[in-house]
Every structure is written in C-alpha cells, then in structure tokens.
A and B are shown apart, each in its own frame.
Chain A
C-alpha cells in the first residue's frame, strides 16, 4: 500500500528557513517523479516543485532560488528545503507522487501525503 507521510512544518519568521520531509512506503521515491504542492489558507492548489527519477528538478517561478527539492534513497524520503521564507509562502504543503505515462506533461498526482502546515509570520 502506497503511503506518504509529510512532516516538518511549523511557525517561522519571515526570512527564516524550514525543511519539510515526506516519508514514503509501498514504492521507491527515487524511481518515481515526486512533487510538492501547496495550498494557502482558504485557497486553491499550487504546484511548487518536481524531482524526476533521473534527478532533474524544476520549480514554480515564485520559489526559484529559495526552495530546493531533494531525496534520500536510503530513507526513501523526499525533502523540501525552504529558505528566505516570505509571508505568502504560508500554506499547507503536500508531497505527491506524480504519475506520467509517455509524456510528463500529462502527469497527474496519484497519491498525496496528509500535508504539513507552514506559517510564516513575525
């Protein structure tokens, strides 16, 4: 059974850092496409970042240069290092497995973690 367990959220001041973790079971993180998706309070879903099985990484424009997605093969865990946090980064962050067949663009998020809340406030 596929399971994703998000953790690491909390309250941080603007300009601070936080590292989110997503522990996976039932499949191998490094053999799959993995993403982070966030949801600001009362708002919709926003894709944040992806790491492909080959290791390439991509980010939405608003977090480029500040966030870093990575993974640990031995722990079967996905990470999101968030630096220079801003008030508008406040959201529930979900890790999600991205399933794509022939074209990565047609990918969809077939399994989600329970989410972890990041609050950026002074």
Chain B
C-alpha cells in the first residue's frame, strides 16, 4: 500500500482532458513538500514529467500540467493523444518515513 494514493486507472478519448489525483497526508504533501510526476511508457524507464508541483522540463509538451493544494496534487493532460498511453506516478517526500515516496501509479488508457 503506497503512502501516496492514486487511482489505478483513468481513460479518455483522443482530444479530451483527463486528470490524475495524488492524495497524501500531513507528513508528505500536506507538510509542504513538492510533488513531482513521472511518465512510464510500456517497458521503459520512468521519465520526469512535472517537477516542483507545476514545472515542465524542457521538451515536455504544455498539454501536461500539475497543481497542488493541501494534502493533494493533480496531473492534468489536455488534448489527449494515443502516445500518452502510459503509467503515471506522483512522488514527494515523507517526514515520518524520512524518505522519498511514490504513488502506486495510474494507468492511462486512450480509448
């Protein structure tokens, strides 16, 4: 059971907008630690998608955006494309565990 909770799966049609939630607690997201997001395409290593809650690394399309409020964070993907089909993970730090923690991952299916 992951410290950060994500829905196991989400889906959307091409062109639509989807959001993926990441729910934590007062010892991680609620404590003010940054949230970061990763995209893992099938059979590949994770890739940094969003850092520092809402910043995109160079090369990541502006269709991807992040937000954070209270003990939760969200990843939004607009203009859904077939190539977005992947697993998505949120990550933060937990002061009780004294380590970096990940969400359980969300599988995005493009219908």
A contact residues vs B (CB 8 Å cutoff): 35, 37, 44-47, 50, 58, 60, 94, 98-99, 105-115
Per-residue interface assignment for chain B, residues 55 to 91, with 1 indicating a CB less than 8 Å from any chain A CB and 0 otherwise: 0010000000000000000000000000000000101
Q: How far is the CB of A15 from chain B (nearest CB, A)?
A: 26
Q: How far is the CB of B94 from chain A (nearest CB, A)?
A: 9
Q: A45-B102, A47-B99 are in contact. Are A108 and B36 (CB under 8 A)?
A: yes
How long is the Cα–Cα vector from A100 to B57 in the complex, in angstroms? 14
A112–B36 contact, CB under 8 A? no
A106–B102 contact, CB under 8 A? no
A45–B99 contact, CB under 8 A? no
- Residue of A50, A98, A110, A115 near B45 (CB, 8 A) is A115
Q: Which residues of A contact B91 (CB under 8 A)?
A: 45, 108-109
B100–A44 contact, CB under 8 A? no
Closest 10 CB pairs of A and B: A108-B36, A105-B93, A106-B34, A112-B45, A45-B102, A47-B100, A44-B105, A44-B104, A108-B51, A110-B48
| Majority secondary structure, A binding face | strand
Q: How far is the CB of B55 from chain A (nearest CB, A)?
A: 10
B contact residues vs A (CB 8 Å cutoff): 2, 33-34, 36, 38, 44-48, 51-52, 57, 89, 91, 93, 95, 98-105
In the complex, residue of chain B having the shortest beta-carbon distance to the beta carbon of A47 = B100
Q: A44-B102, A44-B103, A47-B102 are in contact. Are A113 and B33 (CB under 8 A)?
A: no
Q: How far is the CB of A78 from chain B (nearest CB, A)?
A: 15
Would you give 12 A-B contacts (Cβ < 8 Å), ordered by A? A45-B46, A45-B91, A47-B100, A47-B102, A50-B100, A58-B98, A58-B99, A108-B52, A108-B91, A110-B51, A112-B46, A113-B45
Q: How far is the CB of A24 from chain B (nearest CB, A)?
A: 14
Q: How far is the CB of B86 from chain A (nearest CB, A)?
A: 13
How long is the Cα–Cα vector from A114 to B46 in the complex, in angstroms? 9
A107–B46 contact, CB under 8 A? no
In the complex, residue of chain B having the shortest beta-carbon distance to the beta carbon of A115 = B45
Q: Which residues of B contact A111 (CB under 8 A)?
A: 48
How long is the Cα–Cα vector from A108 to B52 in the complex, in angstroms? 8
